[in-house]
Chains A and B, each alone.
Chain A
Amino acid sequence: ELKVEQNPLFLSMQEGKNYTIYCNYSTTSDRLYWYRQDPGKSLESLFVLLSNGAVKQEGRLMASLDTKARLSTLHITAAVHDLSATYFCAVNLNQAGTALIFGKGTTLSVSS
């Protein structure tokens, strides 16, 4: 059974600080997704990582994938309040890629 674990589950940050969210998964997968969810809202796609060593950056967020270690990271640089949200990573359940298995999410709170 594919398991996706994120840590930490809760993260309280000060504005301007850096931090990393980790996503470990239990079986082989060649693609990983990061989503953001604001309270009461739906999920917004942030990154799709398709190969070992893939790195993508958007603004203050940078995601990377190490398929050998079965690990993805989401690095936050110089956090701002607008980044407060819950971040989910998700991995394909099967080669067909039709079912994503999500982690429990990391709830990020950025305060001044």
Chain B
Amino acid sequence: DTGVSQNPRHKITKRGQNVTFRCDPISEHNRLYWYRQTLGQGPEFLTYFQNEAQLEKSRLLSDRFSAERPKGSFSTLEIQRTEQGDSAMYLCASSRQGGGFTSPLHFGNGTRLTVT
């Protein structure tokens, strides 16, 4: 179990640029989640995949955000036309199937985005 891996760890970009983050979940986990965390707050749910299917999206996920998980393994989160309000830590988590969604989420170390 190598854990959930996220790249890059840090990203600094100028307002208006596009950015893409990658998440590699734990290998046997078929469920993958993206969350966003700002300073002093708990993580906020963005979206959820089961295998390659994106099954849930939060209203926080504006049309500038898109997430994919093309082969049911790694996932990417793209933010287009970044805004300063997008500055946050973007966390990826995975969990295994079974147990009626009672398995805890395993979080990666996150990608910290700073939009200047």
Contacts and interface: CB of A to CB of B under 8 A. Distances in A.
A93 B42 CA distance: 14
Nearest to A93: B45
B101 A104 contact: no
Contacts, number: 62
B41 interface: yes
A90 B58 contact: no
Interface residues on B, range: 20 to 34
Given A98-B48, A104-B40, A42 B55 contact: no
Contacts of B93: 43
Contact of A43 (B31, B40, B91, B100): B91
B88 interface: no
A103 B40 CA distance: 10
A76 to B, nearest CB: 19
B64 to A, nearest CB: 20
Given A42-B109, A43-B91, A43-B107, A97 B44 contact: no
